[in-house]
Amino acid sequence: MVDVAEKPSTRRVAVASGILRMQPATLARIRTGSIAKGDVLTVADVGAVMAAKRTADLIPMCHFLALTGVEVKFSEIEEPDESGCVGIKVVTSASCVGQTGVEMEALCAASVALLTIYDMCKAIDRGMRIEHIQLEEKRGGKSGVWLREEPGASKRIGET
């Protein structure tokens, strides 16, 4: 693990996202609250927050961070892809004041949110697929601000 003791504490924010593709009927059942295991998006929200808080327990070289906030937002993707699947997109944000960034916390939150939805819906749609889990933005620390630019490119835009 990298020693960050000499680094100054700064406000750190990271935003991550991901998509879960599914059959239109599965999305309709999530929307109407008719999944047997319960309110899918509420449970996925809680799972995401729990994952962000426990990232250091899951990723071997991550530092334990005292998070100051975790936000989780879901949106529907109603336009079918080439295979006829629709989806749910999650965007997570993690923040802290610390000596190292919160990228892994945001990514872990997005991953577990999507895995939770999969778990709750797998009995009716085993063909769901998780796509595009990625860092969208990070702010703070020596490297400053980084934003994802599409398609697949990135750009460091300065220091904060």
What pLDDT does residue 149 have? 86
What pLDDT does residue 152 have? 55
Low pLDDT (below 50) residues in the chain? 159-160
**Per-residue b/e over 3-13, b at no fewer than 16 CB within 10 Å?**
eeeeeeebebb
Domains in the chain (CATH in brackets) are: 11-136 (3.30.70.640)
pTM: 0.90
Q: Percent of the chain at pLDDT above 70?
A: 94
Residue 74 one-letter amino acid: F
Catalytic residues: 119
What pLDDT does residue 151 have? 66
What pLDDT does residue 160 have? 39
What pLDDT does residue 6 have? 82
